[in-house]
Amino acid sequence: MATPIHCTVVTPNAISLEEKATYVSFEAWDGQVGVMPGASPFLTKLGTGVLTVKCATGSTVQILTDGGFAQMQGDNLTLLADSTVDISSIDVKQASALLADANQKAMAPGNTSLAARESVERAQRVAQAKVNAAGRRAGQRA
């Protein structure tokens, strides 16, 4: 068996995760990326979505990431995320309310500046990702 990947997730505030992994998948800006031991080096921009880490111990960890960068070098995968949320802490009703609020703000008049649009669109992406992650988690329990 190949040497596991050393996966580290870092935010501006803390190290969110540090695990030996047999497989890691995450949302990049241009789609889903899957990484296994022996992967070629890369550097990519992170999107908003679920990071899934299949740990060498057999457990699986899932974290919601929003923005940042991922770098694979040797057996080290480092994700520098703008923010992370443990999906087990996401409340479906609260996430749905955040999404409804973000969608309402997107339709409100006056959000025409580039900065205002980017802020509203990011809020929509994060809220939608939380709803999806919480729904996926609920589906796994069923």
Show the 3-state SS of 15-73. Answer: EEEEEEEEEEEEEECCEEEEECCCCCCEEEEECEEEEEEEECCCCEEEEEEEEEEEEEE
What confidence tier does 74 reach under pLDDT thresholds 50, 70, 90?
very high
Secondary structure (3-state) at 2 = coil
Q: What is the pLDDT of residues 106-122, one digit of tens each?
A: 787 876 778 877 888 88
Q: What is the pLDDT of residues 80-102, one digit of tens each?
A: 999 898 888 888 888 888 888 88
Distance in angstroms (rounded) separating the CA atoms of residues 45 and 14: 19
What confidence tier does 104 reach under pLDDT thresholds 50, 70, 90?
confident
pLDDT exceeds cutoff 90 at 131: no
Instruction: Indicate the pTM of the whole model.
Output: 0.79
pLDDT exceeds cutoff 80 at 141: no
pLDDT, average across residues 18-40: 95
